[in-house]
Every structure is written in C-alpha cells, then in structure tokens.
Amino acid sequence: MNYSSTDPNGILRTDAAVNYFNEGFNCSQSVALAFCDLFDTEPSVMLKIASSFGGGFGRMREICGACSGMAIIIGLATGTDDPKDRTQKSNNYAVVQKALSLFEKENGSYICKKLLGLDKAEGSPIAEERTPEYYKKRPCAELVRSAATILDTILKEI
C-alpha cells in the first residue's frame, strides 16, 4: 500500500475524519471514510458498511464507533479472504488489538458508554439531532480524531 497521511484533496486524514463527524456522519463512518480511498472503496459503499457501528454498535454504547471504523480499515489493510490463512488472521487480530490498546491508553476505554460517562445505554435507537448542545456534551469529535491519529500511525507501520 502506498500510504499518505493526507487524502486526495491534501487534507490530513485526521482532520478529514473530524470534519466528516462535524458534518453529521457517525463516528465509525467518519473514521472509515477518511481512509477509504486507500482501498479503492467508493465512499457511498464505505458509509453504508460503517453505518451500523455508530453510537457504539447501533447506539448500544458498546465498542466505540470510532474504534469500529479503525477496525474496518485495518481489516482492509491486513485482513484475509482465505478462511484457512491463520497467519494473516492472527496478524490482523494483533493489529486490531494494538489499535484498541493504544486508544484505551489514550482515552481510558474503548467502550462508548464509559467514554460518554453513562451508566448504561440510553435504550433508544433514535439518533440524536446534531445541535450545538450535542457537540458540547459529547467528546466524540476528539475520539474520532484519536482513532484517526492511531490509524494513521498504524498504517505507516504496515
């Protein structure tokens, strides 16, 4: 892979991910979209692939969607389509574990509800409206930046 920290428009991928989040894409979509051109993946396809992982997996507040976005891209970079290739599977899992470990070290967790300071998920599948109040009470834009920064570092290494 010929990797660059900037997207085809010359924007740092970390900044692009935050910009996508601020435009209204969910956390998983924002990270995945910022890197999808590296794998000749149409943005509309990547957005659909990543859409279910926002809000900690369908708004269940489990694994942070920004981390899921990292995992999607790591899968494209290191995954295998051979069910018997245990070596590549293991390599992929190691890279995902490294990414999550770095994210947890930087942010204290990779569990959405913990990152948001919630005792439990809200219990609703309804996506919140993106208002100025939403952005003030959620650390998600910075979590997206964190995930994109970690992913940028990892992609430079592989």
**pLDDT over 70, % of the chain:** 100
Identify residue 155 by its one-letter amino acid code.
L
Question: What confidence score (pLDDT) does residue 56 get?
Answer: 97
Q: Which three-class secondary structure state does DSSP give residue 12?
A: strand
With beta carbons less than 8 A apart as the criterion, state whether 38 and 151 touch: no
On the question of pLDDT at 74 being above 90, the answer is yes
Query: Measured between alpha carbons, how far is 151 from 91 in angstroms, rounded to an integer?
Result: 16
pLDDT tier, 120 (very low <50, low <70, confident <90, very high otherwise): confident
Q: Which residues pair with 63 in a beta bridge?
A: 111
Question: What confidence score (pLDDT) does residue 136 get?
Answer: 87
Identify residue 119 by its one-letter amino acid code.
D
**Reported pTM:** 0.97
Q: Where are the alpha helices (DSSP H) in 13-129?
A: 13-23, 27-35, 43-51, 54-57, 65-78, 86-107, 112-115
